[in-house]
């Protein structure tokens, strides 16, 4: 267990996480020290691509609220460049520093009572949910089947832009972690463009998610949602004109027995197959 001086969460917050399967912590990250350096480098990367591709726009100077200036024009010019930005931004040093932020170890120690937390390799990145795109929108899912590592892992989810109803906040099914792992179909027949983890569909999805109340918290940059690997959640629908930028960082627990049994194997991002590691989770 975490020593008193290491505790970041109150006992009430830990109890709320255990009951709901998620927890919102406002102002968890320091905006100037931890968040803005990431936004600043994203702005610079977009600037490089605008210049390289000769886009007819003047790249406005950086501000934390407009760090993604020019990104909509960039993907309108060539959607492939959105993928270039997506792959680039997870390699920003300030982001990688945030991934291994010691506060995450302390939250793991408090919530999971572990002295041996781990960073899920390939389990961190910055999502860019573009307006009106379906291909990379996450269906209702639990993170465990698409990440593995350990069953009691945590997702640290934090937006880089203010969330509004229009931008499609994350949807969370309250208390859904308590019913254990849900079987999945490996294909999404309604969205054939989806592949890999994006194509997973819960068995009896509509009936299953109707069992729980849903919330879509309107978080601000610096705020954090901590999600249990068994919590059911989904991307909202972005009906705005701005991309929804958000950070996902995943930790797991070396002490958890299922993780030890699967030897902490990863899932899709690690090139593994659910069929190899957990065939019983496949509904097809
Ligand atoms: O941000 C989203 O829309 C989905 C993120 C997600 O599903 C996750 O972090 O596991």
In tens, the pLDDT along 217-249 reads 999 999 999 999 999 999 999 999 999 999 999
What's the pLDDT band for 65 if we cut at 50, 70, 90? Answer: very high
> Which among 272, 139, 66 has a CA at the least distance from the CA of 264?
272
- For ligand 1, whether the C-beta of 155 sits within 6 Å is yes
What's the pLDDT band for 197 if we cut at 50, 70, 90? Answer: confident
Q: Kindly give, in sequence order, each residue whose CB lies less than 8 Å from that of residue 206, ignoring residues fewer than 6 positions away.
A: none
pTM confidence score = 0.96
Tell how far the Cα of 157 is from the centroid of ligand 1, in angstroms: 8
Specify the CATH number of the domain 11-29+120-281.
Answer: 2.60.120.620
Domain boundaries, the chain: 11-29+120-281, 30-100
Q: What is the pLDDT of residue 105?
A: 97
> Of 15-24, 189-198, 260-269, where does the model show the most confidence?
15-24
Mean predicted lDDT score pLDDT of the chain: 95
* Distances in whole angstroms, Cα of residue 104 to Cα of each of 107, 111, 139, 260: 5, 10, 26, 21
- For ligand 1, whether the C-beta of 243 sits within 6 Å is no
Atom of ligand 1 nearest to the CA of 146: 10
The protein residue with its alpha carbon nearest to ligand 1, atom 9, reads 248
Task: Give the DSSP H/E element, type plus range, for residue 118.
Answer: strand 117-119
Please state which of the ranges 66-70, 195-199, 200-204 shows the lowest mean pLDDT: 195-199
Tell how far the Cα of 58 is from the centroid of ligand 1, in angstroms: 32
Check whether 208 has a pLDDT greater than 70: yes
Tell how far the Cα of 51 is from the centroid of ligand 1, in angstroms: 31
Tell how far the Cα of 56 is from the centroid of ligand 1, in angstroms: 33
Tell how far the Cα of 48 is from the centroid of ligand 1, in angstroms: 28
Exposed, middle or buried, 132 (CB in 10 Å: 0-12/13-18/19+)? exposed
What's the pLDDT band for 3 if we cut at 50, 70, 90? Answer: low
The helix-helix angle for 36-52 and 80-89 (nearest 10°) equals 140
For residues 72-88, average pLDDT: 98
């Amino acid at each position: 267990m975490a020593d008193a001086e290491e505790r970041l969460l109150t006992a009430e917050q830990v109890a709320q996480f255990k009951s709901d399967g998620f927890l919102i912590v406002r102002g968890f990250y320091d905006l100037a020290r931890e968040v803005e350096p990431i936004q600043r480098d994203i702005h610079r990367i977009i600037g490089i691509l605008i210049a390289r591709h000769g886009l007819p726009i003047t790249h406005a100077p950086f501000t934390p609220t407009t760090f993604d200036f020019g990104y909509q024009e960039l993907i309108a010019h060539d959607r492939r460049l959105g993928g270039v930005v997506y792959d680039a931004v997870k390699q920003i040093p300030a982001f990688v520093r945030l991934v291994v932020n010691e506060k995450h170890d302390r939250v793991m120690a408090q919530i999971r009572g572990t002295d041996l937390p781990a960073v899920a390799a390939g389990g961190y990145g910055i999502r860019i949910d573009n307006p009106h795109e379906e291909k990379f929108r996450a269906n209702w899912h639990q993170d465990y089947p698409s990440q593995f590592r350990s069953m009691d892992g945590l997702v640290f989810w934090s937006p880089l832009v203010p969330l509004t109803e229009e931008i499609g906040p994350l949807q969370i099914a309250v208390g859904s972690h308590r019913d254990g792992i849900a079987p999945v179909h490996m294909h999404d027949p309604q969205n054939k463009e989806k592949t890999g983890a994006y194509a997973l569909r819960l068995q009896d999805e509509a009936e299953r998610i109707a069992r729980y109340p849903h919330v879509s918290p309107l978080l601000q940059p610096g705020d954090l949602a901590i999600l249990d690997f068994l919590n059911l959640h989904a991307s909202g629908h972005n009906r705005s004109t701005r991309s929804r930028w958000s950070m996902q960082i995943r930790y797991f627990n070396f002490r958890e027995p299922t993780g030890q049994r699967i030897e902490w194997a990863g899932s899709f991002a690690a090139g593994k197959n659910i069929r190899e590691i957990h065939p019983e989770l496949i509904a097809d």
